[in-house]
Amino acid sequence: MDVILLEKMGRFGNIGDRASVKAGFGRNYLIPRGKAIFATEKNIAEFETRRAELEANAEEKLQVAQGRAAGIAEIGAVRIVAMAGVGGKLFGSVGAREIEEALVAAGGEVNRSEINLPEGSFRQTGTFEIDVKLHADVIQSLTVLIEEE
């Protein structure tokens, strides 16, 4: 299925690029969320008339993401206190929700879905580096310090 992207999508392309995606992904995710439209002649013509508006909106979103990244960079590190047993093994785990709560309490703006934990939740005490993906072009590093209660 061919679609025209209405916003930058990491590996698919930039605004206005024509992308070939699987039918289910296009119909169930991209089109309902306003991230793409079907690549028909009529939609291509309508897109070209709206291109400047869409690019301006994309630039505004990028500026907002860069501002949020600067706020996270100022915080630098968040401290989370959790119950732990022998050897620093946590009772439970520290995941994206706990990191989001700690970061918001420190004054940062982040959504849980923007926090990247490629190896899953943390189950040990220690210091960890994570990435927060605020935009397709803006990824900010954050240090998470998990301490024993």
| Count, residues in the chain | 149
pLDDT above 90 for 31:
yes
Statement: residue 24 has pLDDT above 90: yes
Looking at residue 11, its pLDDT comes to 85
pLDDT digits (tens, 9 = 90+) for 51-80: 999 999 999 999 999 999 999 999 989 999
Q: What is the pTM of this model?
A: 0.80
Exposed e or buried b for every residue in 72-106, given b needs 16+ CB within 10 A? beebeebebebebeeeeebeeebebebbbebbeee
Q: What is the DSSP letter of 88?
A: G
Tell me the domains of the chain and their CATH numbers.
2-64 (3.40.5.10), 70-148 (3.10.430.100)
Question: pLDDT tens-digit profile of 77-126?
Answer: 999 999 999 888 999 999 999 999 999 999 888 999 999 998 999 999 99
